[in-house]
Amino acid sequence: MRKSFPLQRKIVKMQDLTNGNEGKLIFKFAAPMLLGNVFQQLFSVVDSVVVGNFVGKEALAAIGASFPIVFMLVSLIMGLVMGITVIISQYFGARNYDRVISAIDTMYIASTIGGLLAIAAGLLSTEPLLKLLGTPVEIMPQATQYLRIYFSGIIIFFGFNGTSAVLRGLGDSKTPLYFLIIATVVNIILDLLFVAVFRWGIAGAAYATLVANGIAFGLAIYWLNKTHKLIRISVRGLRFDKEIFAQSIRIGLPTGIQQTLI
């Protein structure tokens, strides 16, 4: 069990959004999130450009066929983590730091379990989903390969987006954007390395995306542990709170479904 933290303990790198000009605070907080959505979509765009230039039109078409599923997946994850952002921000604004820690613990436990279940469901449903979209037979093998690699690393996406949600809940929307930019740059470099140099084909593009997001996830965890004295992310001592989980689902699930329907 983690020890409780007194309310007067100093917390570094956390911005208080309850004081100041509301409009200015909201704009400064929302702008990095809007830019983050753009960079989030650049992964598939970069994969398409590199594969289209170095592999061929069939591989490019395979990524194009996979894009709606990938976009739906990312939208669902981002919508779900919105719930934990709201919960953490409420407790942080109320200076209830014990509940902040409980919310963060609950998010990581739920993300791990949910990510593992999503991996299993994704791997089993890859071909049916592609057939449902009317994917041409000639590109089905490459599209299936790309999506299965993508699905196998879904837990990484849950982890990175969950950590980003924690940072946003603590009033920091800029740092997740920085890590996302780093991931985008790494993805470009690895795409060129895996596809153009190693000749791994469409699989190389998928692996590049997973590795880039994994690096961003690791950096986000390191930053959270190093700069926020209140928080120490560790596998040992995590505790699950059913009430917080239920609250986050009630808030995040409708948003996730809405984003998915788009």
Query: For 40-73, what is each residue's pLDDT tens digit?
Result: 888 888 999 999 999 999 999 999 999 889 888 8
How far is 119 from 121, CA to CA, in rounded Å? 6
Position 27 in a domain: no
Question: What is the domain extent for residue 113?
Answer: 40-261
The per-residue pLDDT for range 182-195, each reduced to its tens digit, is 999 999 999 999 99
Residue 6 has pLDDT above 70, yes or no: no
What is the pLDDT averaged over residues 208-234?
Answer: 87
For residue 12, the model assigns a pLDDT of 42
Position 127 in a domain: yes
Position 148 in a domain: yes
Position 31 in a domain: no
Residue 89: both structure tokens together = 């921000």
Contact assessment for residue 154 and residue 118, using Cβ atoms and an 8 Å cutoff: yes
Mean pLDDT check: name the lowest of 113-122, 149-158, 215-224, 253-262: 253-262
Contact assessment for residue 248 and residue 84, using Cβ atoms and an 8 Å cutoff: yes
Position 209 in a domain: yes
Token pair 């593992």: residue: 116
The whole-chain average pLDDT of the chain stands at 88
For residue 5, the model assigns a pLDDT of 42
Number of domains observed in the structure of the chain:
1
Position 4 in a domain: no
Position 91 in a domain: yes
Q: Where are the alpha helices (DSSP H) in 174-241?
A: 174-191, 202-227
Half-sphere exposure of 77 (CA within 13 A, CB side): 26
Mean pLDDT check: name the lowest of 25-29, 136-140, 173-177, 239-243: 25-29
Residue 13 has pLDDT above 60, yes or no: no
For residue 248, the model assigns a pLDDT of 94
> Model's pTM, two decimal places?
0.86
Q: Which one is predicted more confidently, 219 or 237?
A: 219
pLDDT category at 1 given cuts 50, 70, 90 is very low
The per-residue pLDDT for range 105-138, each reduced to its tens digit, is 999 999 999 999 999 999 999 999 999 999 999 9
How far is 37 from 30, CA to CA, in rounded Å? 11
Position 100 in a domain: yes
Mean pLDDT check: name the lowest of 35-49, 149-163, 207-221, 245-259: 35-49
What is the pLDDT averaged over residues 5-10?
Answer: 39
How far is 216 from 182, CA to CA, in rounded Å? 7
pLDDT category at 16 given cuts 50, 70, 90 is low
For residue 17, the model assigns a pLDDT of 63
Q: Which one is predicted more confidently, 207 or 45?
A: 207
How far is 219 from 138, CA to CA, in rounded Å? 39
